[in-house]
Structure 1
Amino acid sequence: MTENSAQAGTAGSADGDSAQGQDWSKGRPVHFEIQAADPQRAVEFYTSVFGWTTEDWSDFAGMPYFGVTTGTGPGIDGAILGRPGGENAEVGGPVMGATLTMGVADFDEVAEKITAAGGTVALPKYALPGMAWQGYFHDTENNVFGIHQPDPEAK
Protein backbone atom coordinates (compact mmCIF):
# COMPACT_ATOMS: atom_id res chain seq x y z
CA MET A 1 0.00 0.00 0.00
CA THR A 2 1.35 3.44 -0.85
CA GLU A 3 1.57 6.30 1.62
CA ASN A 4 -1.06 8.22 -0.37
CA SER A 5 -3.52 5.33 -0.41
CA ALA A 6 -3.16 4.90 3.34
CA GLN A 7 -3.85 8.59 3.88
CA ALA A 8 -6.82 8.57 1.55
CA GLY A 9 -8.14 5.29 2.93
CA THR A 10 -8.48 3.79 -0.52
CA ALA A 11 -6.48 0.58 -0.42
CA GLY A 12 -5.64 -2.25 1.91
CA SER A 13 -3.60 -5.41 2.06
CA ALA A 14 -4.46 -8.58 0.16
CA ASP A 15 -6.53 -9.85 3.11
CA GLY A 16 -8.69 -6.71 3.05
CA ASP A 17 -7.22 -4.93 6.07
CA SER A 18 -5.52 -1.54 5.92
CA ALA A 19 -3.02 0.01 8.25
CA GLN A 20 -5.99 1.87 9.77
CA GLY A 21 -7.69 -1.39 10.80
CA GLN A 22 -10.46 -0.98 8.22
CA ASP A 23 -11.81 -4.10 6.48
CA TRP A 24 -11.74 -3.09 2.82
CA SER A 25 -13.00 -6.45 1.52
CA LYS A 26 -16.69 -5.59 2.02
CA GLY A 27 -16.98 -2.61 -0.32
CA ARG A 28 -18.15 -0.29 2.47
CA PRO A 29 -18.85 3.24 1.19
CA VAL A 30 -15.98 5.49 2.26
CA HIS A 31 -16.39 8.58 0.05
CA PHE A 32 -19.07 10.14 -2.10
CA GLU A 33 -18.97 12.64 -4.94
CA ILE A 34 -21.89 14.82 -5.97
CA GLN A 35 -21.55 16.13 -9.52
CA ALA A 36 -22.84 19.62 -10.20
CA ALA A 37 -23.12 21.92 -13.20
CA ASP A 38 -22.59 24.74 -10.68
CA PRO A 39 -20.51 23.36 -7.79
CA GLN A 40 -20.74 26.56 -5.71
CA ARG A 41 -24.55 26.47 -5.93
CA ALA A 42 -24.51 22.82 -4.82
CA VAL A 43 -22.17 23.67 -1.92
CA GLU A 44 -24.63 26.35 -0.78
CA PHE A 45 -27.55 23.91 -1.09
CA TYR A 46 -25.98 21.08 0.95
CA THR A 47 -24.47 23.37 3.60
CA SER A 48 -27.80 25.15 4.14
CA VAL A 49 -29.87 21.94 4.27
CA PHE A 50 -27.57 19.59 6.23
CA GLY A 51 -25.00 21.91 7.83
CA TRP A 52 -22.11 20.19 6.03
CA THR A 53 -18.78 22.01 5.92
CA THR A 54 -16.71 22.31 2.77
CA GLU A 55 -13.16 23.14 1.80
CA ASP A 56 -12.13 24.29 -1.67
CA TRP A 57 -9.72 21.70 -3.08
CA SER A 58 -9.97 22.98 -6.67
CA ASP A 59 -6.28 23.93 -6.94
CA PHE A 60 -5.22 20.47 -5.77
CA ALA A 61 -7.74 18.64 -8.00
CA GLY A 62 -7.20 20.83 -11.06
CA MET A 63 -10.97 21.29 -11.43
CA PRO A 64 -13.86 22.65 -9.34
CA TYR A 65 -13.77 20.30 -6.33
CA PHE A 66 -14.98 20.94 -2.77
CA GLY A 67 -14.17 18.51 0.03
CA VAL A 68 -17.22 17.81 2.20
CA THR A 69 -17.29 16.94 5.90
CA THR A 70 -20.72 15.63 6.89
CA GLY A 71 -20.16 15.48 10.65
CA THR A 72 -18.31 13.60 13.36
CA GLY A 73 -18.54 9.95 14.30
CA PRO A 74 -19.65 7.12 12.00
CA GLY A 75 -20.50 8.07 8.44
CA ILE A 76 -18.72 9.11 5.28
CA ASP A 77 -17.38 12.35 3.88
CA GLY A 78 -17.00 13.25 0.24
CA ALA A 79 -16.88 16.02 -2.32
CA ILE A 80 -18.90 18.23 -4.63
CA LEU A 81 -17.31 18.60 -8.04
CA GLY A 82 -17.90 20.02 -11.48
CA ARG A 83 -20.01 17.65 -13.58
CA PRO A 84 -18.16 16.42 -16.68
CA GLY A 85 -20.09 17.92 -19.59
CA GLY A 86 -21.65 20.64 -17.42
CA GLU A 87 -25.40 21.30 -17.74
CA ASN A 88 -25.59 19.32 -20.96
CA ALA A 89 -23.96 16.11 -19.75
CA GLU A 90 -25.03 13.30 -22.04
CA VAL A 91 -27.48 10.87 -20.48
CA GLY A 92 -25.75 7.50 -20.41
CA GLY A 93 -22.34 9.20 -20.34
CA PRO A 94 -19.46 7.65 -18.42
CA VAL A 95 -20.22 9.26 -15.03
CA MET A 96 -23.80 10.11 -14.12
CA GLY A 97 -23.67 9.61 -10.34
CA ALA A 98 -25.22 7.43 -7.65
CA THR A 99 -28.00 7.90 -5.12
CA LEU A 100 -26.87 9.04 -1.71
CA THR A 101 -29.22 8.81 1.28
CA MET A 102 -28.70 10.89 4.41
CA GLY A 103 -29.92 9.79 7.82
CA VAL A 104 -31.99 12.49 9.53
CA ALA A 105 -33.67 12.92 12.92
CA ASP A 106 -36.84 14.60 11.56
CA PHE A 107 -37.92 13.84 7.99
CA ASP A 108 -40.49 16.63 7.73
CA GLU A 109 -38.15 19.32 9.09
CA VAL A 110 -35.39 18.37 6.65
CA ALA A 111 -37.85 18.10 3.73
CA GLU A 112 -38.89 21.71 4.43
CA LYS A 113 -35.23 22.80 4.46
CA ILE A 114 -34.66 21.03 1.15
CA THR A 115 -37.50 22.79 -0.64
CA ALA A 116 -36.62 26.15 0.98
CA ALA A 117 -33.06 25.78 -0.37
CA GLY A 118 -34.30 25.15 -3.92
CA GLY A 119 -34.65 21.36 -3.94
CA THR A 120 -37.73 19.55 -5.23
CA VAL A 121 -39.50 16.30 -4.36
CA ALA A 122 -38.56 13.36 -6.59
CA LEU A 123 -40.44 10.65 -4.65
CA PRO A 124 -42.59 11.72 -1.68
CA LYS A 125 -42.20 10.46 1.87
CA TYR A 126 -43.22 6.84 2.37
CA ALA A 127 -43.01 4.30 5.18
CA LEU A 128 -40.62 1.41 5.32
CA PRO A 129 -42.96 -0.38 7.78
CA GLY A 130 -41.46 -0.95 11.19
CA MET A 131 -38.18 0.64 10.13
CA ALA A 132 -38.14 4.21 8.81
CA TRP A 133 -39.51 7.06 6.71
CA GLN A 134 -37.86 7.47 3.31
CA GLY A 135 -38.15 9.94 0.44
CA TYR A 136 -36.15 11.27 -2.49
CA PHE A 137 -35.44 14.79 -3.70
CA HIS A 138 -33.68 16.65 -6.52
CA ASP A 139 -30.96 19.06 -5.43
CA THR A 140 -30.26 22.34 -7.25
CA GLU A 141 -28.16 20.39 -9.79
CA ASN A 142 -30.98 17.91 -10.53
CA ASN A 143 -29.15 15.08 -8.72
CA VAL A 144 -31.42 12.69 -6.83
CA PHE A 145 -30.72 12.01 -3.14
CA GLY A 146 -32.69 10.46 -0.32
CA ILE A 147 -33.39 11.19 3.31
CA HIS A 148 -34.09 8.44 5.84
CA GLN A 149 -35.55 8.88 9.33
CA PRO A 150 -35.37 5.72 11.47
CA ASP A 151 -38.75 5.05 13.13
CA PRO A 152 -39.86 1.59 14.31
CA GLU A 153 -43.46 2.92 14.35
CA ALA A 154 -43.47 3.85 10.63
CA LYS A 155 -46.37 2.30 8.70
Structure 2
Amino acid sequence: MSDQVENAAAEEEVSYGNGRPVHFEIHAADPARAVAFYAEVFGWQSEDWTEYAGMPYFGLRTGEGPGIDGAIMQRHGDNPEPGAAVGGGVLTMGVASFDEAAERILAAGGTLAMPKYALPGMAWQGYFLDTENNVFGIHEPDPEAK
Protein backbone atom coordinates (compact mmCIF):
# COMPACT_ATOMS: atom_id res chain seq x y z
CA MET A 1 0.00 0.00 0.00
CA SER A 2 1.35 3.45 -0.87
CA ASP A 3 2.17 6.00 1.82
CA GLN A 4 -0.55 8.31 0.44
CA VAL A 5 -3.22 5.61 0.74
CA GLU A 6 -2.08 4.67 4.26
CA ASN A 7 -2.08 8.33 5.36
CA ALA A 8 -5.54 8.91 3.87
CA ALA A 9 -6.84 5.79 5.64
CA ALA A 10 -5.31 6.94 8.96
CA GLU A 11 -6.84 10.42 8.58
CA GLU A 12 -10.23 8.85 7.75
CA GLU A 13 -10.11 6.77 10.94
CA VAL A 14 -9.23 9.80 13.07
CA SER A 15 -11.96 12.05 11.67
CA TYR A 16 -14.60 9.31 11.68
CA GLY A 17 -14.51 8.99 15.45
CA ASN A 18 -14.56 12.73 16.15
CA GLY A 19 -18.18 13.50 15.39
CA ARG A 20 -17.78 14.31 11.68
CA PRO A 21 -21.09 13.75 9.85
CA VAL A 22 -20.80 10.61 7.72
CA HIS A 23 -24.40 9.98 6.58
CA PHE A 24 -27.74 11.75 6.43
CA GLU A 25 -31.33 10.55 6.05
CA ILE A 26 -34.26 12.43 4.55
CA HIS A 27 -37.64 11.14 5.71
CA ALA A 28 -40.42 11.06 3.11
CA ALA A 29 -44.03 9.88 2.93
CA ASP A 30 -43.31 9.13 -0.75
CA PRO A 31 -39.63 8.13 -0.97
CA ALA A 32 -39.69 7.61 -4.76
CA ARG A 33 -41.02 11.16 -5.24
CA ALA A 34 -38.32 12.56 -2.95
CA VAL A 35 -35.60 10.60 -4.80
CA ALA A 36 -36.84 12.02 -8.11
CA PHE A 37 -36.87 15.57 -6.68
CA TYR A 38 -33.25 15.48 -5.43
CA ALA A 39 -32.06 13.74 -8.61
CA GLU A 40 -33.67 16.43 -10.76
CA VAL A 41 -32.50 19.38 -8.67
CA PHE A 42 -28.98 18.32 -7.63
CA GLY A 43 -28.19 15.34 -9.86
CA TRP A 44 -27.94 12.91 -6.93
CA GLN A 45 -27.81 9.22 -7.82
CA SER A 46 -29.76 6.62 -5.87
CA GLU A 47 -29.73 2.91 -5.24
CA ASP A 48 -32.67 0.95 -3.80
CA TRP A 49 -31.62 -0.53 -0.44
CA THR A 50 -35.17 -1.51 0.57
CA GLU A 51 -34.24 -5.20 0.74
CA TYR A 52 -31.57 -4.48 3.37
CA ALA A 53 -33.56 -1.96 5.43
CA GLY A 54 -36.89 -3.78 5.44
CA MET A 55 -38.69 -0.58 4.37
CA PRO A 56 -38.44 1.83 1.44
CA TYR A 57 -34.85 3.10 1.72
CA PHE A 58 -32.78 4.62 -1.09
CA GLY A 59 -29.04 5.20 -0.73
CA LEU A 60 -27.81 8.51 -2.19
CA ARG A 61 -24.53 9.49 -3.83
CA THR A 62 -24.37 13.27 -3.73
CA GLY A 63 -21.17 13.70 -5.76
CA GLU A 64 -17.41 13.39 -5.58
CA GLY A 65 -14.96 15.16 -3.27
CA PRO A 66 -15.73 16.75 0.11
CA GLY A 67 -19.22 16.14 1.42
CA ILE A 68 -21.31 13.23 2.60
CA ASP A 69 -23.72 10.73 1.11
CA GLY A 70 -26.99 9.66 2.65
CA ALA A 71 -30.40 8.15 2.05
CA ILE A 72 -34.09 8.83 1.62
CA MET A 73 -36.25 6.59 3.78
CA GLN A 74 -39.90 5.92 4.50
CA ARG A 75 -41.27 8.47 6.98
CA HIS A 76 -43.15 6.88 9.88
CA GLY A 77 -46.08 9.29 9.95
CA ASP A 78 -47.32 12.21 7.88
CA ASN A 79 -45.12 14.81 6.21
CA PRO A 80 -44.89 18.02 8.26
CA GLU A 81 -47.24 20.85 7.32
CA PRO A 82 -45.62 23.78 5.50
CA GLY A 83 -44.66 26.40 8.07
CA ALA A 84 -44.29 23.89 10.91
CA ALA A 85 -41.23 24.05 13.14
CA VAL A 86 -38.22 22.08 11.93
CA GLY A 87 -38.20 18.72 13.70
CA GLY A 88 -34.69 17.65 12.74
CA GLY A 89 -31.52 18.92 11.15
CA VAL A 90 -31.51 21.07 8.04
CA LEU A 91 -29.29 20.08 5.11
CA THR A 92 -27.70 22.92 3.15
CA MET A 93 -26.27 22.15 -0.28
CA GLY A 94 -23.49 24.16 -1.87
CA VAL A 95 -24.39 25.44 -5.35
CA ALA A 96 -22.52 27.33 -8.07
CA SER A 97 -25.50 29.63 -8.74
CA PHE A 98 -28.21 30.31 -6.18
CA ASP A 99 -30.62 31.62 -8.82
CA GLU A 100 -30.19 28.64 -11.16
CA ALA A 101 -30.57 26.15 -8.30
CA ALA A 102 -33.70 27.98 -7.08
CA GLU A 103 -35.20 27.70 -10.57
CA ARG A 104 -34.53 23.93 -10.63
CA ILE A 105 -36.02 23.51 -7.15
CA LEU A 106 -39.23 25.32 -8.05
CA ALA A 107 -39.53 23.53 -11.40
CA ALA A 108 -39.15 20.15 -9.63
CA GLY A 109 -42.02 20.89 -7.24
CA GLY A 110 -40.18 22.50 -4.33
CA THR A 111 -41.43 25.68 -2.67
CA LEU A 112 -39.78 28.73 -1.15
CA ALA A 113 -39.43 28.70 2.64
CA MET A 114 -37.08 31.68 3.16
CA PRO A 115 -35.93 33.95 0.31
CA LYS A 116 -32.35 34.48 -0.82
CA TYR A 117 -30.36 36.69 1.54
CA ALA A 118 -26.74 37.78 1.84
CA LEU A 119 -24.31 36.49 4.39
CA PRO A 120 -22.20 39.66 3.94
CA GLY A 121 -18.78 39.01 2.50
CA MET A 122 -19.38 35.25 2.42
CA ALA A 123 -22.35 33.87 0.48
CA TRP A 124 -25.97 33.87 -0.65
CA GLN A 125 -28.26 31.64 1.41
CA GLY A 126 -31.92 30.63 1.25
CA TYR A 127 -34.29 27.84 2.23
CA PHE A 128 -36.87 25.74 0.43
CA LEU A 129 -39.30 22.88 1.10
CA ASP A 130 -38.86 19.67 -0.88
CA THR A 131 -41.82 17.60 -2.13
CA GLU A 132 -42.15 16.06 1.37
CA ASN A 133 -42.19 19.47 3.16
CA ASN A 134 -38.66 18.98 4.53
CA VAL A 135 -36.72 22.24 4.88
CA PHE A 136 -33.34 22.42 3.12
CA GLY A 137 -30.97 25.22 2.25
CA ILE A 138 -28.80 26.23 -0.68
CA HIS A 139 -25.59 28.21 -0.30
CA GLU A 140 -23.66 30.01 -3.06
CA PRO A 141 -20.23 31.23 -1.91
CA ASP A 142 -19.69 34.89 -2.91
CA PRO A 143 -17.25 37.18 -1.11
CA GLU A 144 -19.08 40.15 -2.74
CA ALA A 145 -22.47 39.27 -1.19
CA LYS A 146 -24.02 42.30 0.56
TM-score (norm 1): 0.80
Match of 1:116 in 2: 107
Matches within 5 A, 1:1-150: 20-87=12-79, 96-150=87-141
Bigger relative contact order, structure 1 or 2 (CA pairs below 8 A, ≥6 apart):
2
CA distance in 1, matches of 2:33, 2:135: 15
Unaligned runs of 5+ in 1: 1-16
CA distance in 1, matches of 2:17, 2:11: 14
Among all aligned residue pairs of Structure 1 and Structure 2, give the percentage whose two residues are the same amino acid.
Answer: 68
CA distance in 1, matches of 2:60, 2:75: 16
**8 Å Cα contact 1:127/1:134 also seen in 2:** yes
RMSD: 2.2
1:72-129 Cα deviation digits (max 9, x unpaired): 111100000010114479x89xxx4320000000000000000000000000000000
Q: State the Cα distance separating 1:134 from its structure 2 match.
A: 0.2
Amino acid at match of 2:92: T
Question: Deviating runs (4+, > 4 A) in structure 1?
Answer: 17-20
The count of residues paired between Structure 1 and Structure 2 equals 135
Match of 1:9 in 2: none
CA distance in 1, matches of 2:70, 2:124: 24
**8 Å Cα contact 1:18/1:24 also seen in 2:** no
CA distance in 2, matches of 1:60, 1:153: 47
Equivalent position SS for 1:147? strand
